[in-house]
Amino acid sequence: MKHYVTALLLLLDPATCANPFRTAPRKPPSKACKTAKNNKGLECAQDADLVARYGPQLCPNQVAAEFDQLDMTSIRISAGGINHFLQPTYSSPVSDFFATNGQVALTFEQTVSVCVTRCQNDPGCDAVEVKEKKADNPKYPTGKPDFECLMINTGLGPGAYLSPHDPKGGEPCPCMVQHTIFLKLPSKVPYFEDVQCNIDGRGTALQAGVGCTVGQITDPVICGALLTDDWNQYVAPAIGCLAQNGGGDALEACMGCLNAQTPNNTSSDICPDSTADATTMFRDPQKCATACLGAMCEMLLQKMMLCVTGAPLQYEEGAGYGGGVINRNLINGPDFMCPSVE
């Protein structure tokens, strides 16, 4: 779909004003595009319709100077991480939401202008996700494009992170025309690769990794790829504890139980809320408390499972998606450890 640049951009000299709708390195804004002193007004041209409907908008050069644009990237909400590790916490991961529902004839650039301005004026907003859906969206049969903006506050537990689009999966919805992220600078949104536990968290890989750890598998090609530094730090100690205190039978029983009790990406299945909490998989006899030797290896097994659920988001046939949860302590460490309880 062809988008016409709005008056907000047309009335500015493209040679001197940085274009916010690109991914190239930002250039210093020209003096012609700066804001007026004491914030009494904007010196750049304003789209009258936008101002009438939504108020004054940021100049394009302000957007370019204060936001980074990322294409082919999504913001994912980590829905089951360790809230304790992400401060401050609030009640919802949405700072603000804007949608036209096909009722307003905006262009993509106009929508970006409105949403980025809202984010800039919201101290809690760290990023904006802008989506354009096709004009023939059956949900809103108006013939006008349907735009959505999600303003993200990364301080809202359980956390948000950036994830590149899967080239095999493409856009999450075939009705999508454009999908762009704007990050308020300095960026507070982590890429998941910066907070993930660097292991292969798929069930088949975990089984092979256990075999490599206890010496049942010795192929250096297989084990070299699985026994990463994070595996050796967060997973191997739990395997060693089970093998040392219960032998191969306990190791097999516990790992089999955990495989059947895989949490739905929630830390509450792994970490207790209090010292008396007996509902976690390692404390409830109806779950894996007995098979995993009770309290003997509990702390090490907690670390292991926080690492597994904190591994990169991957799909496994027959098991669905796993991983993709922020369990790394972004404040002061230690990583992949349950918060202390009383």
Cα 70 to Cα 228: distance, rounded to the nearest angstrom: 30
How far separated are the first and last CA of the chain, in Å rounded?
58
Instruction: Work out whether strand 160-164 and strand 73-77 pair parallel, antiparallel, or are unpaired.
Output: antiparallel
The C-alpha R_g of the chain, in whole angstroms, comes to 25
Model pTM score: 0.68
- Single-letter residue type at 304: M
Enumerate residue ranges in the chain where pLDDT < 70: 1-43, 77-98, 101-102, 135-143, 154-159, 165-176, 262-266, 330-333
Q: What is the pLDDT of residues 54-69, one digit of tens each?
A: 889 998 888 889 999 9
Kind and range of the H or E run holding 327: none
Phi, psi of 70 (to 5 degrees): -125, 125
Q: What is the pLDDT of residues 49-107, one digit of tens each?
A: 888 888 899 988 888 899 999 887 777 766 666 654 443 333 333 445 667 766 777 88
Contact yes or no for 178/131 (Cβ under 8 A): yes
Q: Give, to the nearest 10 degrees, the angle between helix 236-260 and helix 298-309.
A: 70
- Full DSSP string of 147-166: EEEEEE-TTSTT-EEEEEPP
Cα 311 to Cα 305: distance, rounded to the nearest angstrom: 10
Task: Give pLDDT, residue 187.
Answer: 84
